[in-house]
Amino acid sequence: MSTLLLLVITGLGLGALYFLVASGLSLIYGLMGVLNFAHGSFLTISAFLGWEVGRRVSDGTWAGLALSALVGMLVGAVVAAATEYLLIRRLYERHIEQALVTVGLALASVALFEGIWGTDPIYTQKPEWLGETTEILGAKIPNDRFLLIACALLVLGGIVLFLQRTRYGLIIRAGVENRSMVTALGIDVRRSFTIVFAIGGAAAGLGGVLASVYYGYVSAHLGSVLLIFAFIVTVIGGLGSLTGAAIASVLVAVLQQFANYYLGGTGDLVVVIALAAVLLVRPRGLMGKAA
């Protein structure tokens, strides 16, 4: 029982990280049709800069971590918005070129990060409580899982509120469904492209800082590793569906944890098989719209 609970909660924590990356990917694809391969770079630069600022102010404390998270979100939002404004917008409706640019940016940024921070992981400090465990029904749950889950829920709630309660949210929801009709109502849908990139970048930025808490280090490849699973989550959840991304994040991460524990570390393989199964049986994903 305690093992099951540990696997589920650890899976939820990892799923929270996947969701923070996948939410932006899914919204960006849903609205603009852009598969943003540079999304992992937003996460990595945010993790590095968040860590740099946090450790200088107060390393290993809650204040330092909160500052890291704020810096990470800000950096993620700014870098993502700049990427959209300077690169993606010029390639509007040219999907192959958009993919090439984002892949190129992802590769170049990893090289840049290695040049600045080196190729080895840099181990990070975290508040003492996050390194401890809490016993629930006999399972010793690492406390950082609770932080990850709480943050992902806050981000999910924040994005849902934004989408439901604001005019830009309304435009984004309509644009995901039928972008050209939104422009035919007299709305400049491109403005919401930048906002969606900024929101996605901020979520990924927070994900970067939290990933450094979860894994205990930052590295130039942090974003690349998480991006692969975030893409899997986005496809399984249904491209463009925030709810789908949230559900698939949990399913994929929990499945991964169980397979790693019970099937001899085959979590990654099982996740890829799940992706293949979804593509074969339900190509639009769990919550995606029909083609």
Partner 1 sequence: MSEPILVVDRLSGRIAGQQVVEDVSFEVPASGVTALLGRNGVGKTSTIKSILGLIERTGEVRLAGTRVDRLPTHRIVQRGVGYVPEDREVFGALTVGENLRLAERDDRPRRELVDRLFPDLVERRAQRAGTLSGGQQQMVSLARALVNENRLLLVDEPTKGLAPRIVDEVAAALAEAARTVPILLVEQNLHVIRALAERVVVLSGGRVVFTGAASDLLDDEDRIQRYLGVHDAAEGQNASEGESR
Among 49, 130, 149, 182, binds partner 1 (CB under 8 A): 182
Question: Closest by alpha carbon to 222, among 17, 11, 15, 1?
Answer: 17
Binding mask 118-157 for partner 1 (x = CB under 8 A): ----------------------------------------
Q: Is 178 in the site for partner 1 (CB under 8 A)?
A: yes
Among 1, 86, 96, 185, binds partner 1 (CB under 8 A): 185
Among 180, 265, 280, 290, binds partner 1 (CB under 8 A): 180
Two structure tokens written together for 236: 């399984």
Q: Is 181 in the site for partner 1 (CB under 8 A)?
A: yes
Q: Is 89 in the site for partner 1 (CB under 8 A)?
A: no
Among 183, 262, 269, 277, binds partner 1 (CB under 8 A): 183
The region of 29-37, 163-171, 216-224, 252-260 touching partner 1 under the rule CB under 8 A is 163-171
Q: Is 170 in the site for partner 1 (CB under 8 A)?
A: yes
**Helices (H) and strands (E) in the chain — how many of each?**
11, 4
| Count of residues that bind partner 1 according to CB under 8 A | 17
Angle at 218 between CA 114 and CA 121, to 5 degrees: 60
Question: What residues between 206 and 245 interact with partner 1 by CB under 8 A?
Answer: none
Identity of the residue, 120 or 188, whose beta carbon is nearer to partner 1 in the bound complex: 188
Distance from C-alpha of 55 to C-alpha of 59, rounded to nearest angstrom: 4
Please state the φ and ψ torsions of residue 257, each to the nearest 5 degrees. -65, -45
Distance from C-alpha of 188 to C-alpha of 171, rounded to nearest angstrom: 9
**3 state SS of 134:** strand
Direct distance between the N- and C-terminal alpha carbons of the chain, in angstroms, rounded to an integer: 42
Q: Is 189 in the site for partner 1 (CB under 8 A)?
A: yes
Q: What are the residues whose beta carbons fall under 8 Å from the beta carbon of 105, sequence distance 6 or more?
A: 37, 38, 41, 83, 87
Binding residues for partner 1 (CB under 8 A): 167, 170-171, 173-174, 177-178, 180-189
